[in-house]
Structure 1
């Protein structure tokens, strides 16, 4: 952050403290939270009307919007202040798109106040004018950066970005189709087809050459869908490099109940570190059983095979993030990519894996 931006950040933090008091909170002296790894100090500490403590982080960005990549980083910082019975709060200077806010609040268990919340709740006050002046000054000083990144439209993109905008976004259409598929083995093929379309819409610019039901050399083992990775894509190329994978596998489980450990053991047998087929995403209707996660972590620890679970709720969230990303166009494409959700899931999986 430049010196000019540091000054903006400091002014924003001071205004945020006044805003918290404006909402009826009592500002307290800073406390220090000692964690196992660091000493944490929030930007402000306040007591609410029900004696709940509010520990908050005020974050400034020179852009008018908060991109998903930045929101994820900021939310992780705010989440460190979370304590039982208390609230961790992120106050962002930019606008946070609603579906991104929903994902971050649910993923990190925090509250988020963005620019729209600040301006709405301070309306009619001198504080409102000061916030507006700060945001206007940042813009007038050309603090809002111009992105050099061009949009990377998915290669199935004639469906993703049509010339004439459909009455319903493509992601919402896929969400409706996903929810219409009944659970159970008799509807497995229908579920798999919808999953393939979802993966193509979400990651079609990076995952290429889809093969459905490829039979392995033993003539018995069959995988649901496999893809190769486009070498220029940052997230998927890093994943392929880190886990020595040339093929990304998607297994579709249209079960009425959660995926269990036995399904993990079956999936692991199909994977192969020797064949550079060591990454698999298991798609299911509901969240995986806790024992399945333990089994997947065991496979990672013992054989280096990465198995990540995604359920209907995860797919729905990523589809809405993709719709928002496409609607906003070129300027923020890479920084609003739904792969941030995948990256966070992989991080959580590895960070909680026992030795």
Structure 2
């Protein structure tokens, strides 16, 4: 979604401004994508490889940060940088930061450090707080942090050989190879299950398969219990009053229609604390189906998000890069609700 692009890009642009205000000579890395990192910068006669990660969830997610740090350490050495820096929008507890810096020999900068770097620039501080929707008077924001993290920075060094996570790419390719239509329905369901368990290992529990008969086929959907580990799942619990989420797998050759939406809606139960469904489909939904999802939300408070192959693969690649795939779901839901007609 365009809003998703704008959020991380705005954060990256603001980080560049903050770095330049602190005497870094910053330029965009010409080697984008994989392998790569976001920025190259010169400071104190040394070249820095810098990766910027925007997370909606303010609590640090160690597995994602670990994956991002491993990629940066490797890519920085490949680019012959002397130092590495991973800048994250979340809060890094002191012990976690120390453990990560010891492991990767790169500098970690979190939201607190960025705010401290803005001490002489109230305008940049205000932009940072607005972008992160944070309050500088909150306890986390005034948690003691090093004023100048780069003062303790260490040279990049080679890491022990690590098995690079390519599982997301492999699952994306496996998904794309599945033929659309009835003959491949069971295979599609199995791959979708593997994808969901890779993307959300700590977020969803109690996987329960339900057999149902639609279109003359025996099919399965899944109901999972939600844990409030990220901003998206907190939103589902707190604002939708849904402790459970329904996953539907629709391997249709074309766009799904309003009949398929109506079928899914019947499985959402207000008193069963099941008010949300994520519908995985190959090529999305037609306008009538979208209108029906809007009506279900407007009239009954039931949220149904339609996620096609493109979005699924986007989340898989995000997970590989150390980004939070639930941020993609948050943006899909945010866009759906912002554009909900009367």
Give the TM bin, normalised by the shorter chain: 0.5 to 0.7
Structure-2 residue corresponding to 1:229: 226
Using the alignment, how far apart are the partners of 1:338 and 1:290 within structure 2? Answer: 26
1:180 aligned to which of 174, 177, 181: 177
Equivalent in 50, 65, 82 of residue 64 of structure 1: 50
Gaps of 5+ in 2: 1-13, 28-48, 57-67, 69-75, 98-159, 213-217
SS for the counterpart of 2:191 is: helix
Q: Describe the superposition over 1:184-227 as per-residue Cα deviations: whole angstroms up to 9, x where unpaired.
A: 02211110110011010001111011111267xxxxx9860111
1:201 aligns with 2:198: yes
Out of 319, 325, 334, which is 1:347 matched to?
Answer: 334
Within 5 Å, which residues of 2 pair with 1:97-136?
Answer: none
Check 1:313–1:13 CA distance in 2 against 1; reply closer, same or farther (3 A cut).
farther
CA distance in 1, matches of 2:181, 2:336: 27
Q: Contact 1:223 / 1:270 at 8 angstroms: preserved in 2?
A: no
Question: Structure 1 residues 244 and 14, CA, compared in 2 at 3 Å: closer, same or farther?
Answer: same
Would you say the 8 A contact 1:68–1:340 is kept in 2? no
Partners of 2:54 and 2:15 lie apart in 1 by 22
* Alpha-carbon contact 2:207-2:223 (below 8 Å) kept: yes
**Which whole-Å CA distance do the structure 1 matches of 2:93 and 2:307 have between them?**
33
Matched with 2:306 is 309
Q: Normalising by structure 2, what TM-score?
A: 0.55
Find the aligned partners of 1:241 and 1:309 in 2 and give their Cα distance: 21
Q: CA deviation at 1:245?
A: 0.9
Which residue of structure 2 lines up, in the alignment, with residue 9 of structure 1? 18
Work out the CA distance in 2 between the residues paired with 1:64 and 1:202.
25
Q: 1:172 Cα shift? A: 1.0
Deviation of 1:9 (Å): 3.3
Aligned residue runs from structure 1 range 12-31, under 5 A: none
Inter-CA distance 8–353: structure 2 relative to 1 (3 Å threshold): closer
In 2, the alpha carbon distance for the partners of 1:344 and 1:278 equals: 18
Change (3 A) 1:222 1:268: farther
Change (3 A) 1:257 1:145: closer
Deviation at 1:300, TM superposition (A): 0.3
Aligned counterparts, 1:1-355, within 5 A: 9=18, 11=20, 64-69=50-55, 147-148=92-93, 169-213=166-210, 224-325=221-322, 336-355=323-342
What secondary structure, in the 3-state scheme, does the structure 2 residue paired with 1:245 have?
coil
Unpaired runs of at least 5, structure 1 = 20-62, 71-96, 98-115, 121-131, 152-162, 216-220, 326-335
Partner of 1:353, secondary structure, is coil
d(CA) in 2 for partners of 1:6, 1:315: 28
Q: Displacement of 1:275 after TM fit?
A: 1.1
CA distance in 1, matches of 2:220, 2:314: 25
After superposition, the C-alpha distances for 1:287-318 in whole angstroms (9 at most, x for unaligned) are 22122111100000011100000000000110
Q: How many angstroms apart in 2 are the aligned matches of 1:64 and 1:146?
A: 18
TM-score by length of 1: 0.53
The 1-side partners of 2:18 and 2:161 are apart by 41
2:186–2:219 Cα contact (<8 Å) kept: no
- Looking at structure 1, the residues matched to 232 and 177 of structure 2 have their Cα atoms a distance apart, in angstroms, of 31
Cα distance, 1:231–1:9 mapped onto 2, change above 3 Å:
closer
Tell me if the contact between 1:226 and 1:250 (Cα under 8 Å) persists in the aligned partners: yes
User: Using the alignment, how far apart are the partners of 1:255 and 1:8 within structure 2?
Assistant: 47
